[in-house]
Amino acid sequence: MRARVRDGVELYYESTGSGPVVLTLNNFFMTTPAWRVVTDELSVAHRVVSYDLRGHGRSSHPETYPSWDDHADDVVGLLDALEIDKAYLLSTSISTVLARDVALKYPDRVKGIVLAGPALGPRGMRRHRLVQRAWLLTLEHHGMAALYAHLYPEVFGAEMIEELGTPGFLGLRESFLALSTKEDLTNGLKLALTGESSPDLLARVQAPTLVVIGDDDVLLSPSGAQELAAKFPDGRCEIMPGAGHLPFLDDASGFQALVAKFVDEVEANA
């Protein structure tokens, strides 16, 4: 399905289940199909909507790549097109910046936000941007396969890497190469190096916030995640044992249970 969110912009989306709406926000390495196997249990009692960012996947690819503000406007444009009043935003890695921005710009459209493996830091985003800049340089000078080899040990937890072994590494590489293009990733990584990075912004986010991090996330420590959650007026933190930067890949059922519990608690207190 494609939804028209403004002149010349259509977003590819998928919607499953019914109940409180959980809208997934892709990081720049993900497209909509990646969410199917990590939200299947969540969609039993919730409506899960996933979409491709503008300039990625099967959504419109404009001549000028969108800004963070454009991406935030697209979120609300999609909600309007689907006649959804409010939603929970489920974000991961760099898309946690987008979740923050939507919550700040459109507070009346956001019921709560989930930050999984956030690219936000309790003292800023310098470390994350250094890593993203290194990924961009690898992509520009050595290509997609080299980028995958670069980010694989930084994104996945040690337990998953051992469990998957060489067959898993090679299989995921094929999926990675098939899901995105070099141009899409280049544009996304360049955008990731921009935008507001001050942790002071977090105090202005009024929506209930759940920070979920694996204890093997190389970009943010468990103590850093707890400190980050404390920056939000209504923040809480969950640590997933043995998980890496994308904890929903290490333990999809456990992650979905945490998200469902968070949504149900917010709904009960509404």
Which residues of the chain are modeled with pLDDT < 70? none
Strand partners, 145: none
- The first and second tokens of residue 236, run together, are 């809480």
* pLDDT score at 52: 97
Q: How far apart are CA 117 and CA 190, in angstroms?
A: 20
Q: How far apart are CA 180 and CA 144, in angstroms?
A: 9
* pLDDT score at 179: 86
Domains of the chain from N-terminus onward: 2-124+197-269 (3.40.50.1820)
pLDDT digits (tens, 9 = 90+) for 232-255: 999 999 999 999 999 999 999 999
| Residue appearing with tokens 């850093």 | 224
* pLDDT score at 270: 82
* pLDDT score at 247: 97
What are the φ/ψ torsions at residue 194 (nearest 5 degrees)? -120, 180
Of 50, 72, 53, the closest CA to residue 62 belongs to 53
- The first and second tokens of residue 28, run together, are 């720049």
**pTM listed for this prediction:** 0.97
How large is the angle between the packed helices 144-155 and 126-142, nearest 10 degrees? 150
